[in-house]
Structure 1
């Protein structure tokens, strides 16, 4: 009888595991979605960094959970930045691999530092002011001080950046961006050599070789209880870690995702930042150790909760002992500086209480509770764990297009004509590579469109041509680039060409483009929020993603704030720049009606009023069908601008006040307040 009950309990747990697996695929992502996200980020970083051929340009690497393939709410975007002409070595003999006339070398001094940390000794003078200013003299040597290095970089950034560990952190809405200015080393740390010997079953030898040959980084933070906290640097294995996460199978990745949800929704729920002892890095370290120890015979959907439970017990053991060994350097206890004494005891008591409840404590997780309850109430329902069937074609395409369009080049703010040409040359070299995945090809196309659009407007901004004939030729080149860009993006991106026509006073061409976009948007297969799934599938079945995007995607318009597209929005771009917002995100139809109003004002005032009425209806009544509700600040702002241009100052004031009440997504408050002040000069103050 006991064996029968045990068998029934095991089967019930397996069914709940399968249901939770499906839930995590919806919450965290299917294997296809996760692979797509990683490919898109990888190719973006590759393009951005291959373009950086100049000696002093800084390489940027996306790291953390975003690079790993997570898109959970509240996840940070982490970036590591370094210069290629500064290299760290572990011993002097390694200097033979560098041209010291072109690269400055820094030597590790680990003699008096705990495992995982080191001092950095400057072997030769540096041309970088931040390194010169960060040097401290110890034992007749110059060392780069981590605390000074952090402070110098932080002081050079906007006041909106705040220190956060080794990073400078900027909070934009619900998103945190962490920039870690660091140094790179091409050699694997000697203190991590034991890790190579441990890799018998996982990861595979080719992954180990790839990780080792890529070396490590050094981030600017010291060991708190140590003797040189202000000057030490921590060895970072960020690049190795995302390669290890890539090497996980999908069940292992979802177990990692479940641990992250367990951390945020149960352990740290309602806990202040200062009292959050466990972090996502501890969860990742746990999964690494459990996989490598090979204590779980099979990582599969039926065993997902068992996998989670093994990881949870390991965390409980570590908290009890006060020791969490770094995966690469076990002698580095990553609990040492934070989890000890009374706090350690309190955390252990809390985790023990959860342990006593068994897996039932997962019912406290809002993300997966319903998937557990469904099985308990419907134990006979079949569960399909083939994650390729969980999303329809329309749903997957929507995720894909959102990812490739929103994953921007972070260095675009510094674009000039020469940089644009280098980007295009880089893309040309990469586009035919047989190593690119289908997702990366699509991302390269959107990057190409983005660079072409930017180049066209930069040429107009930065090129002064007094002769009409030469000006005509330059405009023709810019128009050709914008038409070419429209072939790679979605159909609403024809609005970039329309803005250029408006900039060059070609009003009829603008109106022709806007009418064409309106006509195309009426087709029920257009991929908006009210897309007809059957018609979308029927119309575009078998078509490439490039064709689908060009014919059916209703995409927003992103205006780089250092590039002037139309004069009427320059104050908004300047306001956003002051608040470290690099671009304005404008719903396509808001911009479309704005362009119609601006052009009809010159050719047909009656139609201008009709277009204004359409814009007003859209802003007042649209519920996210044609416009993104998160961008209502710029939508109300543009309505106010158009009302002000047509002489309706009272309505314009109302719209500007409404813009102030929206979520400040685009950071245009300064421009809004300036416009309110100007409008009030024309009308009495209205109390609303």
Structure 2
């Protein structure tokens, strides 16, 4: 919500979707993210065009007159558009439409280079994690074809949830119906935003049943045979639980009815496979089984599921993840299942998850006006009922806004103007205050942004003072970093204390640099390289950044200590086994080591470091262009 308020009209909006957005953290799950241009809007009929200024908004008309339920053609109404959209345009019946297949090909590798097309997405693997990125279009209106869903919502979800879902419209993703008359031009209506809101409206028992269905699909149903292991997917499980809840199939969705609820959904799924019809929850006329679950494969799948059905709830024992948990319940039907999170997870385990989740919240705004909007939005959110997780996420978001605003391009005059005047003094005081506020509410790593500011303004001793304090905190035995912590020492040191105290004293995260903002001039080529590859940020391990800054500051004060900092950096990058430098950050870590070595004149070592940066398995930061240029410069001088 904050991100959307501050994104400029010409910017790109992104939204996490899929299992991750819904709240699941299952081993092997992929990460799904949707992207759309903020200045493009789909409308359902021409009368809706009056709500937009066509001088700065590209309008697209949904035309579903010839498409199967749940699909539509997208007609471009205004000539102003992006290069990718323009290149995807085709002419049908003397009208200009956007081809989904062409647009999908053009945007497949925009987020991550060398991605492959998978459904409407660009897919691949980074650091062992699969991703799906989908470039799509947004619509502020609820589709007419889904109007029956509103009328069905008598008992679930609550009216305020229904109104919120309808008010926020839908999306259109780039894939057509394989049996439609215009498969390569058609777009699928996506209800991803509505779906995660429905999942959020589930009670805890319903959510657990949904998770149980997902595990059962992966570990049991999809392990029956090669012929049938691709027929059912997680979306079918979601559809089943949605229908089961709305139709009041189970009178009471309580924890003691957990297995009964699972069985209700499984029987519904079995019925759908038998009939060959899985009705989309929002547009029931859209049969999700139409092109896959039919013929001999359908018969085979039904027989396999029916065999599981005949075994009763004992079929759950085939799931490796849940066997040990469920067997006690099967032997003792009166045993209640504990769902109280406070008794299931220790304080330190909860804190570990909270750090990982809240650390996703990063934002920056292009100007002070945007910062004002963002802070105002956060203030509004703080007045609404929030969970502890949401408060922590907003806290993290606020710190990122403060520190990024302090390094904004429009503040560059402060770093380039060598004259001392009142304007510079006031600006410096303001930026320092913002960075210190960020460090006050942030974690240990936020102190390094203050050091960057001091280094950039030539105050090397002040920077080193901050670096030394940071180094002391990072050396504590109870440090929580990258999902690792000595639980006993952490509990002894900060257990039971406030969250702000915990993160200030015991939590570190990687350094995030927005590539449109220059925080440290020595990394400008890397940031420009990443921007050319549409990568908005650099992620740098905090220990690498610590030694990097220490090296550059000491170069102006004590060359011996500067060399000592470089030696520490070299040992870290060369010998770390993933404790402080993980695989996906080795590209930037080797690059930073090479930059330091090149500055000291050790060109042979620098060349080796740059080459290592170039051949890392996961080039997450997309800095290869800068690396090749640095290699070329060294080779050209030797």
Contact 2:173/2:189 (CA < 8 Å) preserved in 1? Answer: yes
- With over 3 angstroms needed to count, the CA separation of the structure-2 counterparts of 1:271 and 1:485, relative to structure 1, is farther
SS in 2 for 1:367: coil
Is 1:469 equivalent to 2:412 in the alignment? Answer: no
What corresponds to 1:478 in structure 2? 431
Give the one of 324, 336, 348 matched to 1:394. Answer: 348
What corresponds to 2:3 in structure 1? 48
Contact 1:587/1:626 (CA < 8 Å) preserved in 2? Answer: yes
What corresponds to 1:592 in structure 2? 546
- With over 3 angstroms needed to count, the CA separation of the structure-2 counterparts of 1:365 and 1:602, relative to structure 1, is farther
Contact 1:89/1:185 (CA < 8 Å) preserved in 2? Answer: no
Residues in 1 aligned to 2:403 and 2:469: alpha-carbon distance in whole angstroms: 20
- With over 3 angstroms needed to count, the CA separation of the structure-2 counterparts of 1:449 and 1:184, relative to structure 1, is same
- With over 3 angstroms needed to count, the CA separation of the structure-2 counterparts of 1:366 and 1:507, relative to structure 1, is farther
SS in 1 for 2:33: strand
Residues in 1 aligned to 2:214 and 2:407: alpha-carbon distance in whole angstroms: 43
What corresponds to 2:453 in structure 1? 500
Give the one of 438, 441, 444 matched to 1:491. Answer: 444
Is 1:88 equivalent to 2:39 in the alignment? Answer: no
Give the one of 122, 128, 133 matched to 1:178. Answer: 133
Choose 219-228 or 267-276, whichever is displaced more: 267-276
SS in 2 for 1:227: coil
Contact 2:32/2:132 (CA < 8 Å) preserved in 1? Answer: yes
Q: Which runs of 5+ in 1 are unaligned?
A: 1-45, 684-688
Residues in 2 aligned to 1:672 and 1:140: alpha-carbon distance in whole angstroms: 49
- With over 3 angstroms needed to count, the CA separation of the structure-2 counterparts of 1:615 and 1:85, relative to structure 1, is closer
What corresponds to 2:163 in structure 1? 209
Give the one of 431, 450, 454 matched to 2:379. Answer: 431
| Cα drift, residue 546 of structure 1 | 2.9
Residues in 2 aligned to 1:381 and 1:398: alpha-carbon distance in whole angstroms: 30
Q: Deviations over 1:475-501 (max 9, x none)?
A: 454333322322232122111121232
**What aligned pairs does 1:64-83 form with structure 2 within 5 A after superposition?**
64-72=18-26, 73-83=28-38
SS in 1 for 2:500: helix
Is 1:459 equivalent to 2:387 in the alignment? Answer: no
- With over 3 angstroms needed to count, the CA separation of the structure-2 counterparts of 1:317 and 1:539, relative to structure 1, is same
SS in 2 for 1:114: coil
Residues in 2 aligned to 1:158 and 1:630: alpha-carbon distance in whole angstroms: 13
Contact 1:60/1:80 (CA < 8 Å) preserved in 2? Answer: yes
Residues in 2 aligned to 1:309 and 1:217: alpha-carbon distance in whole angstroms: 33
- With over 3 angstroms needed to count, the CA separation of the structure-2 counterparts of 1:662 and 1:381, relative to structure 1, is farther
Contact 1:88/1:185 (CA < 8 Å) preserved in 2? Answer: yes
Q: Deviations over 1:608-645 (max 9, x none)?
A: 34334433444455555555465344444444544454
Q: Which runs of 5+ in 2 are unaligned?
A: none
Contact 2:5/2:373 (CA < 8 Å) preserved in 1? Answer: no
Residues in 1 aligned to 2:617 and 2:95: alpha-carbon distance in whole angstroms: 55
- With over 3 angstroms needed to count, the CA separation of the structure-2 counterparts of 1:614 and 1:228, relative to structure 1, is closer
| Cα drift, residue 48 of structure 1 | 1.1
Contact 1:576/1:667 (CA < 8 Å) preserved in 2? Answer: yes
Residues in 1 aligned to 2:52 and 2:612: alpha-carbon distance in whole angstroms: 59
Structure 2 length as normaliser, TM-score? Answer: 0.84
- With over 3 angstroms needed to count, the CA separation of the structure-2 counterparts of 1:520 and 1:262, relative to structure 1, is same
Choose 672-681 or 333-342, whichever is displaced more: 672-681
Contact 1:66/1:78 (CA < 8 Å) preserved in 2? Answer: no
Is 1:259 equivalent to 2:213 in the alignment? Answer: yes
What corresponds to 1:421 in structure 2? 369
SS in 1 for 2:420: helix
Structure 1 length as normaliser, TM-score? Answer: 0.78
Residues in 1 aligned to 2:311 and 2:132: alpha-carbon distance in whole angstroms: 37
What corresponds to 2:510 in structure 1? 556
What corresponds to 1:303 in structure 2? 257
Contact 1:459/1:478 (CA < 8 Å) preserved in 2? Answer: no
Choose 132-141 or 604-613, whichever is displaced more: 132-141
SS in 2 for 1:176: strand
**What aligned pairs does 1:531-550 form with structure 2 within 5 A after superposition?**
531=485, 533=487, 536-537=490-491, 540=494, 543-550=497-504
Across the aligned residues of Structure 1 and Structure 2, the Cα RMSD in angstroms comes to 4.0
Contact 1:449/1:486 (CA < 8 Å) preserved in 2? Answer: yes
- With over 3 angstroms needed to count, the CA separation of the structure-2 counterparts of 1:478 and 1:271, relative to structure 1, is farther
Choose 249-258 or 472-481, whichever is displaced more: 472-481
- With over 3 angstroms needed to count, the CA separation of the structure-2 counterparts of 1:225 and 1:295, relative to structure 1, is same
- With over 3 angstroms needed to count, the CA separation of the structure-2 counterparts of 1:332 and 1:544, relative to structure 1, is same
| Cα drift, residue 288 of structure 1 | 0.7
- With over 3 angstroms needed to count, the CA separation of the structure-2 counterparts of 1:318 and 1:648, relative to structure 1, is same
**What aligned pairs does 1:257-336 form with structure 2 within 5 A after superposition?**
257-268=211-222, 276-336=230-290
Residues in 1 aligned to 2:625 and 2:281: alpha-carbon distance in whole angstroms: 48
| Cα drift, residue 556 of structure 1 | 1.7
- With over 3 angstroms needed to count, the CA separation of the structure-2 counterparts of 1:580 and 1:354, relative to structure 1, is farther
| Cα drift, residue 309 of structure 1 | 2.8
What corresponds to 1:446 in structure 2? 396
Contact 2:18/2:32 (CA < 8 Å) preserved in 1? Answer: yes
| Cα drift, residue 651 of structure 1 | 5.5
Q: Deviations over 1:19-72 (max 9, x none)?
A: xxxxxxxxxxxxxxxxxxxxxxxxxxx111112463x44544433323222233
Residues in 1 aligned to 2:592 and 2:53: alpha-carbon distance in whole angstroms: 55
| Cα drift, residue 354 of structure 1 | 4.0
- With over 3 angstroms needed to count, the CA separation of the structure-2 counterparts of 1:175 and 1:509, relative to structure 1, is farther
| Structure with larger RCO (C-alpha < 8 A, sep 6+) | 1
Residues in 1 aligned to 2:224 and 2:440: alpha-carbon distance in whole angstroms: 49
Contact 2:74/2:187 (CA < 8 Å) preserved in 1? Answer: yes
SS in 1 for 2:446: helix
SS in 2 for 1:443: helix
- With over 3 angstroms needed to count, the CA separation of the structure-2 counterparts of 1:480 and 1:102, relative to structure 1, is closer
SS in 2 for 1:202: coil
Choose 106-115 or 334-343, whichever is displaced more: 106-115
| Cα drift, residue 450 of structure 1 | 1.8
| Cα drift, residue 225 of structure 1 | 0.9
| Cα drift, residue 300 of structure 1 | 3.3
Give the one of 507, 512, 516 matched to 2:469. Answer: 516
Residues in 2 aligned to 1:569 and 1:208: alpha-carbon distance in whole angstroms: 48
